[in-house]
Chains A and B, each alone.
Chain A
Amino acid sequence: MDDPILFLVLTLDATIRVSTPLIFCAMAGLFSERSGIIDISLEGKMLSAAFVAASVASVTGSAWVALISAIGVTTCLSLLHGFACITHKGNQVVSGVAINILASGLTVVLGIAWFHQGGQTPSLPATARFMPIEFPFIETVRSIPLVGMIYKELLSGHSLLVYVAFAIVPMTWWIVYRTRFGLRLRAVGENPTAVDTAGISVAWLRYRAVMTGGLLTGLAGTYLSIAQNASFVRDMSAGQGYIALAAMIFGKWRPFTAFGACLIFGLLDAVAIRLQGVHIPVIGEAPVELIQALPYILTVVLLAGFIGKAIAPKAIGQPYLKER
């Protein structure tokens, strides 16, 4: 705390680490919701991925095999979501709730049955995890004031998945706004009948959208359990899937604004952790609960139309019925 700039840089560093799963999930939600499928199962998918990644990593010892298995499982879960909402035209919120509850139960049941550690998976060795990557030339650059510190503390020393998350954002933007798939994705979320009239399958488009979401939540969960931490702990996603959902809405269903919201919410979380038990002049004990509840409060205020207007894709939540 003695060096304010170092404190700031370290807080931003923590922000990057806690924002990463939010970014993955927000982009996952964006793909799904832009196609017209509400996805409140981000939380459950991320939790399942975290469990599968940690389990597979502890059995095989390979972080990559763990990553692929986690993505496999979340893709299956999103296919289940699609099967219920796209094929059977079920209620999208109900299906999402089912997946969340299923994940929160199944990860504990299987974890205890397989590892007998009260729902935790065995602690992983460094070789089975995505470890921090140290950038080159740290020793030479660190002598430069400020730039050196930023280079060493902020930019370097994150796991591969963090850099992937930050790369995913422009990629998402490019896919959604600059490709044919993206154009159709946006169209199917606004007016599926028009897409259908153009001879494009609404169902197949939406399936691809939810599967992309599955892939991204798989990355998020893997990051949680084998990059940020060294094992799976029950309920380790702790509502971050919902915060990501809030961030995506806060970002008005657009990649870069959603990314910004993820960083703000991540910053709030990082600040709340650092302020635990700290006395601030005037206010007294830091209101940690308030800071932690801020993402939710801000999202509600935004949704209420008090800060700009968040307009959802027009066809969101409605199953597409082809008229006969």
Chain B
Amino acid sequence: MSDGSTALPRWIDIGLIPILNVMMALVVSGLIIVAIGESPLEAVQIMLNGAFGYEEGIGYTLYYATNFVFTGLAVAVAFHAGLFNIGGEGQAYIGGLGAGLTILALDSLLPPVLVVPLGILAAGLFGAAWASIPAYLQAYRGSHIVITTIMFNFIASALMVYLLVNVLIKPGQMSPESREFEAGAQLPFMHEILGWFGIEVAHSPLNASIIWALLCCVGLWFFIWRTRWGYEIRAVGFNEKAAVYAGIRPAKMVMLAMFVSGALAGFVGVNEVMGVHHRLLLNFTAGYGFTGIAVSLMGRNHPFGIVMASLLFGLLYQGGAELAFEVPTITRELVVVIQGLVILFSGALAYMSTPWVTWVYVRLTRKSSVVLTGAT
């Protein structure tokens, strides 16, 4: 992908430079905290303590990270096909709708063993269907997927407002929310699961979806790097013309990649609707779809990197909430700023540092080889 990095070893290209980019984003964030008149070191301390210092904090960090794994993977699989899916937010929203509708319809009819998998399946299918329309328009009608996915975010949001305010609202209630799901159709919380084994932990929104998220990571890794479809998706993303000569149909791969991408984004609905809120409500996606872009860029579109980046963003979200609570002049939106900076430095300016690093690397290696030849 990078054009100028002629002689850079792999560990610099996929290790050092991404870390440098994130560091730059964090340094600028620190400068913003200084500009507000607070101490960045103190802020880091409060954030770390808030995110990892006590059980409930860890639970929240992992709960946020679960969402970011789903949306990060969603952006990544589209990236592998050379597509930019900005519609994660809308797909997650509609995915939640799918899970919600299924459970509202079935939770008093079927046993939990059936309802929960059906809910998860519906979340994925609804998200995938929502992503398939822009995918179809890109593949067969030539409209730009970036623009159509943006439009579909807004259409999803309008649709959800309409459905919740007019159709799904629980009668006799003011706030636009559906009725609560039956207890059996709710995913168990982590503190409940651990409780079955006699382990007592503090209550947090962390629930069984994190296991599903990790399974998705492994599954996606296998899909992208170990299956024929994954290979074809990467071939189209890498060089569409060459892929055509290899007998691959790009339009089909665009559809496939976006289908998988939408399904993964839709699983945010599993975590939020089935795992935490246990009802349909407005705005449960809360920008997680957009965070997925930062997560994917930071994790270099690889499941392992995405898990790492999700943990970092989980830390930032939970630590940021703590920070906003402790320091009145700082708000939670600081996390949004950091997110923007990460996208800027790890995404748009990803290759800014490459010439510098190459320069330093060449200088260092040459010097050491000079020293070596001088010694002999």
- Taking A104-B336, A300-B151 as contacts, is the C-beta distance between A93 and B146 under 8 angstroms? yes
B129 to chain A, nearest CB (A): 15
Cα A208 to Cα B363 in complex, Å, equals 37
* In contact, B343 and A97 (Cβ under 8 angstroms): yes
| A65-94 residues at the B interface, CB under 8 angstroms | 80, 83-85, 88-91, 93-94
Residue B222 at the A interface, CB < 8 A?
Answer: no
* In contact, B159 and A293 (Cβ under 8 angstroms): yes
* In contact, A40 and B150 (Cβ under 8 angstroms): yes
Residue B214 at the A interface, CB < 8 A?
Answer: no
Residues of chain B within 8 A (CB-CB) of A83 are 349
In this complex, what residue of B is CB-closest to A44?
A: B340
Other-chain contact of A300, B148, B159, B352 (Cβ < 8 Å): B148
Residue A307 at the B interface, CB < 8 A?
Answer: no
* In contact, A287 and B147 (Cβ under 8 angstroms): no
In the complex, which of the residues A93, A103, A119 has the most CB atoms of chain B within 10 Å of its own CB atom? A93
B262 to chain A, nearest CB (A): 16
Residues of chain B within 8 A (CB-CB) of A90 are 347-352
The binding surface of chain A is classed by DSSP as helix
Number of interface residues of A (CB under 8 A): 50
B282 to chain A, nearest CB (A): 12
Q: Produce 1/0 per residue, A176-217, CB < 8 A to B.
A: 000000000000000000000000000000000000000000
Residues of chain B within 8 A (CB-CB) of A116 are 329
- Taking A97-B290, A98-B343, A299-B151 as contacts, is the C-beta distance between A287 and B331 under 8 angstroms? no
* In contact, A94 and B148 (Cβ under 8 angstroms): no
* In contact, A106 and B339 (Cβ under 8 angstroms): no
Residues of chain B within 8 A (CB-CB) of A289 are 158-159, 161-162, 165
Residue B251 at the A interface, CB < 8 A?
Answer: no
B152 to chain A, nearest CB (A): 7
In the complex, which of the residues A88, A245, A289 has the most CB atoms of chain B within 10 Å of its own CB atom? A289
Which one of B136-144, B204-212, B273-281 contacts A?
Answer: B136-144
- Taking A94-B348, A97-B86 as contacts, is the C-beta distance between A113 and B141 under 8 angstroms? no
Residue B36 at the A interface, CB < 8 A?
Answer: yes
* In contact, A98 and B162 (Cβ under 8 angstroms): no
Q: Produce 1/0 per residue, A269-297, CB < 8 A to B.
A: 00000000000000001010110110011
Residue A121 at the B interface, CB < 8 A?
Answer: no
Residue B341 at the A interface, CB < 8 A?
Answer: yes
Residue A242 at the B interface, CB < 8 A?
Answer: yes
In this complex, what residue of A is CB-closest to B163?
A: A289
Size class of B's contact patch?
35 or more
In this complex, what residue of B is CB-closest to A95?
A: B348
Residue A112 at the B interface, CB < 8 A?
Answer: yes
Residues of chain B within 8 A (CB-CB) of A287 are 162
* In contact, A106 and B141 (Cβ under 8 angstroms): no
Residues of chain A within 8 A (CB-CB) of B344 are 80, 84, 95, 98-99, 102
Residue B325 at the A interface, CB < 8 A?
Answer: no
* In contact, B348 and A85 (Cβ under 8 angstroms): yes
* In contact, B154 and A239 (Cβ under 8 angstroms): yes
Cα A94 to Cα B130 in complex, Å, equals 22
Residues of chain A within 8 A (CB-CB) of B142 are 305
Cα A110 to Cα B35 in complex, Å, equals 9
B299 to chain A, nearest CB (A): 14
Chain A interface (Cβ < 8 Å from any Cβ of B): 38, 40, 80, 83-85, 88-91, 93-95, 97-106, 108-110, 112-113, 116, 119, 239, 242, 245-246, 249, 285, 287, 289-290, 292-293, 296-297, 299-300, 303-305, 310, 312
19 contacts between A and B (CB under 8 A): A80-B344, A94-B297, A94-B348, A95-B344, A97-B290, A97-B347, A98-B343, A102-B341, A105-B335, A105-B338, A105-B340, A108-B333, A112-B329, A113-B329, A293-B154, A293-B159, A300-B137, A303-B144, A305-B141
Chain B interface (Cβ < 8 Å from any Cβ of A): 32, 36-37, 84, 86, 137, 141-144, 146-148, 150-152, 154-155, 158-159, 161-162, 165-166, 290, 293-294, 297, 329-331, 333-341, 343-344, 347-352
